[in-house]
Structure 1
């Protein structure tokens, strides 16, 4: 699965509430007409407190869009499928809504490490995301190996979480052009789902999380953390903050 993630910073004239309303009801329906689009969710930041021992990085957002495609080529085809009138309308509205006419884009390859069980999918789960940048001197291959294998195994032992996704960055776009990690420093996004805030606190207060953080500090240079609220734009995309 390929996920196209738009990093959004709202125009200062919007409150978070008015930003959410405009994004969902005006901007979202314009983008929803893309060809090949399987899922379109909008993830609104509801808490940006830094909750991680590793220092914060460069990802500063008020929300992120989440567009799912089967393949990378289908994603490119989808973006190019908007006719000139629709594409211009999308950009013109972005100029009203956002600080940048063209938002920065991360393209992920998603791996569902622990799937949220069916009995929880109708609930309003706590959805925590962390944008990760690899430590200085750590190669892309080393980051991927440590995060996707050793780190994923350590996560299994941490109590409290109901679901876990790893989103590995495979491309980045700034001002519409593909760029290196130096231009947009992020190598992955971790997603955790919790049944409630008690489970959330259980996870982060545990000794198993301390071991997880110790391992993470060996290959992760920065972490930007957010709690988000998920709103489906394409009908049926998400229920209770979890994509079905």
Structure 2
């Protein structure tokens, strides 16, 4: 399975409240009709503080991160060529400005317990250190680093999204220089206090020291997630 993520910035003439409302109430129902769509989440940015991470932050300033899951890249390509997507693209222009698109494969290190209730979600954009290859980045991130972060206290979920493709808001392929994103982190906790405590723990000291070896920038956001199409709820016609 692959996930397509959109890093969304609202149009200057659209307020944060209008952006959030339109994305949920108008855009969401259009996007959930895409053929082959398995899951669809909207992550609305509510806080862009680093919150206890002592690491260089990138220049990203965004209002939301979309996640759309497909069985394969072929299924994703077919969805983006569909009539349903034309309506999505038209509506996108009404409330979203600059957009970066990435395709990723996921490594679920700590699955989220569906019975855990409402959780605080933190997402982070990662850029690898200059001189490292994508393969070296993956080896470090999916190896020692994944194990180190999995030991954080009060951690309720941890997923790594390794970027495999990049494109502009117009759907045209983008170079790494244009979109220097190597990974997207998803972490879940019960509260902001648990986030801050986790990143002040000994496990965090180990993981953050290791991060200095292969990550140049970590740009973090707290998000409020709306599961437009939850797991296992895709349309029968998409099966």
1:186-215 deviations in Å (ceiling 9; x for gaps): 000111000222321220111221111110
Structure 2 vs 1, CA of residues 29 and 117 (structure 1 numbering), >3 Å: closer, same or farther?
closer
TM-score by length of structure 2 reads 0.91
Alignment of 1:41-190 (within 5 A): 41-51=41-51, 52-82=53-83, 87=86, 89-100=87-98, 103-120=99-116, 123-174=117-168, 175-190=170-185
Q: Distance in 1 between matches of 2:123 and 2:228?
A: 20
Q: Gaps (5+ residues) in structure 2?
A: 233-239
1:169-197 deviations in Å (ceiling 9; x for gaps): 00000131122211101000111000222
Q: Distance in 2 between matches of 1:151 and 1:231?
A: 28
Q: Gaps (5+ residues) in structure 1?
A: 239-244
The answer on 1:213 being equivalent to 2:214 is no
Runs of 4+ off more than 3 Å: none
Q: Distance in 1 between matches of 2:142 and 2:175?
A: 21
Q: Distance in 2 between matches of 1:21 and 1:118?
A: 26
Is the Cα–Cα contact under 8 Å of residues 133 and 223 in structure 1 kept in the other structure? yes
Q: Distance in 1 between matches of 2:141 and 2:166?
A: 19
TM-score by length of structure 1 reads 0.89
- In the TM superposition, residue 28 of structure 1 has moved relative to its aligned partner by 1.7
Is the Cα–Cα contact under 8 Å of residues 33 and 82 in structure 1 kept in the other structure? no
Q: Distance in 2 between matches of 1:92 and 1:76?
A: 18
RMSD (Å), alpha carbons: 1.6
Show the counterpart of 1:35: 35
State which drifts further: 74-83 or 64-73: 74-83
Structure 2 vs 1, CA of residues 134 and 95 (structure 1 numbering), >3 Å: closer, same or farther?
same
1:68-122 deviations in Å (ceiling 9; x for gaps): 1111111111111225xx60x333322220114xx320111011110122431xx
